[in-house]
């Protein structure tokens, strides 16, 4: 029987994707999104069927969402995040722990209701 669930990228492909994201981020001077943009990205991922909740990774690229969502150079592989213009809204700001904590709490709440991926 064929599964309709999309296969997660291989470990090698995930490492390649993440390394590529890190290089772009470093080359641009490590710009972060604003707190508001970060929260929006986490909220979008939390509602996305591609999110692998057990590992908090994107099922499309395999990247760790809590990190990737901070980087202004990163994009959603499914184009669900609004584009960030670096040097305008993508100025470097410190992303506080409360946003990530809230996201983890929301993730747990969704898991309790059986919303697993």
Q: Is 56 among the residues that bind ligand SF4 (CB under 6 A)?
A: no
Interactions with ligand SF4, residue window 4-43 (CB under 6 A): none
Token pair belonging to 12: 């090698």
- Please choose, out of 18-26, 44-52, 94-102, 103-111, the segment that lies near ligand SF4 by the rule CB under 6 A: 44-52
Q: Is 51 among the residues that bind ligand SF4 (CB under 6 A)?
A: yes
Q: Is 58 among the residues that bind ligand SF4 (CB under 6 A)?
A: yes
Listed in sequence order, the DSSP H helices in the chain are 11-27, 35-46, 65-68, 97-112
Q: Is 110 among the residues that bind ligand SF4 (CB under 6 A)?
A: no
Q: Is 60 among the residues that bind ligand SF4 (CB under 6 A)?
A: yes
Q: Which residues pair with 52 in a beta bridge?
A: 57
Per DSSP, the three-state class of 47 is coil
In the bound state with ligand SF4, the residue whose beta carbon lies nearer, of 1 and 5, is 5
Cα(14)–Cα(34) distance, integer angstroms: 26
Question: 52 phi and psi, to 5 degrees?
Answer: -95, 95
Token pair belonging to 97: 């722990």
**List of residues contacting ligand SF4 (CB under 6 A):** 44-45, 48, 50-51, 58, 60, 65, 76-78, 80
């Amino acid at each position: 029987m064929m599964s309709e669930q999309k296969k997660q990228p291989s470990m090698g492909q995930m490492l390649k994707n993440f390394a590529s994201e890190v290089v772009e981020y470093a080359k641009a001077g490590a710009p972060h999104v604003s707190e508001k943009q970060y929260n929006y990205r986490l909220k979008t991922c939390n509602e996305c069927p591609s999110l692998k909740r057990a590992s908090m990774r994107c099922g499309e690229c395999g990247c760790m969402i809590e990190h990737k969502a901070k980087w202004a150079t990163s994009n959603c592989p499914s184009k669900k995040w609004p584009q960030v213009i670096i040097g305008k809204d993508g100025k470097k700001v410190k992303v506080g722990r409360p946003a990530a904590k809230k996201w983890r709490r929301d993730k747990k709440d969704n898991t309790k209701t059986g919303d697993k991926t």
